[in-house]
Structure 1
Amino acid sequence: MSTQESMTTTRYPVAPGVRLNVRSGPGTQYPIVRALNAGTTVAIYCQAPGTWVTGPYGTTNIWDNIAPGEYVSDAYVRTGTDGYVTRRCG
């Protein structure tokens, strides 16, 4: 990623009080690779359809790619919309 890209990437807050599992793919069937602490913000590089999840921000099948091989359910990220906020992965 270039310096310019990192400066223009929007960061979104994870739901308050939530320790959010990060998975290796866009769904609950993928292994957990780490967890994000409450109060974390994430950059979303692309989004992919996957397992339906219900969380503080609704029910969705959108998964946010936050790093190579790392996805979180959009139901736990406050993007301000129920739809896609960036390009689809792949």
Structure 2
Amino acid sequence: MMVLGSASQASAATSYPTAPGYQVNVRSGPGTNYTIVRILPQGSQIRINCQTSGTTETGPYGTSNIWDNIGNGQYVSDAYVHTGSDGYVAQRCA
């Protein structure tokens, strides 16, 4: 049973790469109308806490209105994150 618990914890801590060659804006909310709080350097890996809908953004991984929460008051457009899916890969933000 310990192995199964470890596997669950490992999948919860999955990190995803941002699009190669891009510095990705981190915004205070799920949309381009929110202020930029920092910029992720090229080649960053992020952990997605939860996902929510926001403004639609077009990036290297398509057009999406999904925004990834990577920290308290920190969101990045899913169009710049390689999750391997066009849909939600994490729980929805409350």
- State whether TM-score is above 0.5: yes
- Regions of 4+ moved over 6 Å: none
CA shift digits 1:36-88 (9 cap, x unpaired): 00000000000000000000000000000001100000000000000000100
Structure of greater Rg: 2
Residue 49 of structure 1 aligns with an amino acid whose one-letter code is S
Residue ranges of structure 2 left out of the alignment (5+ in a row): 1-5
TM (normalized to structure 2)? 0.88
Give identity over the alignment, percent: 61
Name the structure 1 match of 2:28: 24
Distance 2:81 2:20 in 1: 10
Residue ranges of structure 1 left out of the alignment (5+ in a row): none
Q: CA RMSD in A?
A: 1.5
Name the structure 2 match of 1:48: 52
Name the structure 2 match of 1:67: 71
Residue 9 in structure 1 maps to residue 30 in structure 2: no
Q: Higher helix share goes to which structure? A: 2
TM (normalized to structure 1)? 0.92
Name the structure 2 match of 1:88: 92
